[in-house]
Structure formats: structure tokens, C-alpha cells
Structure 1
Amino acid sequence: MYCLQAVIVTESARSRLPDSAGGTRLVPLGQNLWLMPVTEAGFDNGLLAESSEQGAVAYVEAEALRRLGVLKGDHFDEFDAVGLGRHRNNDDWLSA
């Protein structure tokens, strides 16, 4: 089973976010995207709104990557293309 609740941001939106805050952190993906797992503490909507002025920000629970411009290429799907298959839950992403 795959369980993911996260915010994915483009490189330009990432510049407005701290590397870590509130028990979560930014993890680099492929194709100039960054993943921030959502923890029980949640996340700062104001900070995400501010970041979205610089680039794309998406809350994802499994997919929605095409809107961020992810290309499947030779991979099985967009999910695989950015490396989301590396971990299967938020705790693993937080310790990455």
C-alpha cells in the first residue's frame, strides 16, 4: 500500500519555503520538484500561498503530477518519473 499526503512544489516556489519547519522538511524529487510530507502538525497555508506566487504548489495524496508539468518519459508513470516510489509513507519521507 502506498500512503502519501504531501505538498509538492516547483523549484521556484521552493525558494520561499524553509528547508524544514513544524516537524517536516523538503525532499528533492526529480524534474525540479520538491516534496514536503504533511505531518500531524499540518502546514502553514499562508506560507504555501506566498510560495505559490513564485511557482506551482500542489497538495497531493497520490497523484496530480501532470499539472506540475511532470513528464512520464520512459517511466511507468509520472509518479515513478519524479521518484515518488522511493518511499511508501510520510515517515519514510521525513527520515530521507
Structure 2
Amino acid sequence: MAYTLQAIITRSGTLSEPLPSPLKLVHLSRGIDLIPIGRDAIKAHALPFQPLTDEGQKGLPRELTELCKRLSAQGLLAYVEAEFFGGAGTQAYALFSAGNGIGHVVVSDSAINEALRHLGVSKGETFDEFVAVGLERYRNTDDWLA
């Protein structure tokens, strides 16, 4: 079974400006908000589809970097990707705050959990941070927008 995610994740209340259309905010558990980057957003903003996990790029493309810088003006956010099929795959994240990138792109089997820990998420009694916020609910980015 496949799983794909391309999104921006931040603490609830971090974003102070309206999101550019057609981006939408989805509230997750533990005070986390998700901004899915679905097909419509990719088309509308000429964004690449999963450049880190699908295309294997080492850095975040300019279009995604500029969007994340803009949205991070008021606080920390993480751009995340995940792509799995039949149990094999990978994840990636990049952090942004105060309109700037922080550190390097991270590509690893636990990248999204690491990004969520940067945002202050604890796994608590759940399997991991990914499950704690509810990211297992849908298996495709566009499903978050339905």
C-alpha cells in the first residue's frame, strides 16, 4: 500500500497571514497544523512534486523555499515529504523560522518524527510522533483536502 505526503507542518496559531490559494490549513492533534501541498497547489504555484523523496534532490527548490520562508515569518515550521510503497520508502524535512531556513534538509526513515519533535510534539503513549498528531489518517496528500 502506498503512502505519500507533501506538506508544511507548524504549531497551531503560528500563521498570522492568510494562506495563498488554494492552500488550506488542517488541524491535527497535539496543537499541530498541517498545510497539505496537493495537486492544485502544485499547479497554482508551479511547485515541484516531492523533490526530496521522489526526485532525490539534495536541497529544497527555490519555489518551495520561498513559500516556506514567507509562511515562517511568525514562527517555526517544517516542510515535510514522505513516500512509501510496499513498506519501502523515505521521508524528508526542512525547517524554517523567522523567514529563514534553519540547518540542512534531512532525509531519513524517521524524518517526519524528527521534524515533529522540533515542533515540540511528544509521542506520549502512542507509537511515535507521526501517530500522535494523526498523520496516519490519510495515505495521500490530496485526501487531506477532501
Could you tell me which runs of 5 or more consecutive residues in structure 2 were left unpaired when the two chains were aligned.
48-62, 83-111
Structure 2 distance, partners of 1:60, 1:67, is: 12
What is the CA RMSD across the aligned residues, in angstroms? 2.1
**Number of residues of Structure 1 aligned to a counterpart in Structure 2:** 93
- Normalised to the residue count of structure 2, the TM-score between the two structures is 0.55
In structure 1, the partner of 2:90 is none
Task: Give % identity.
Answer: 46
Could you tell me which runs of 5 or more consecutive residues in structure 1 were left unpaired when the two chains were aligned.
none
Q: What secondary structure sits across from 2:79 in the alignment?
A: strand
Contact 1:9 1:56 in 2 (8 A): yes
Could you say which structure has the larger radius of gyration? Answer: 2
Contact 2:36 2:141 in 1 (8 A): yes
| Higher strand proportion | 2
1:25 to 2:24 alignment: yes
Structure 2 distance, partners of 1:80, 1:11, is: 17
1:57 to 2:58 alignment: no
Greater relative contact order (Cα < 8 A, sep 6+): 1
| Higher helix proportion | 1
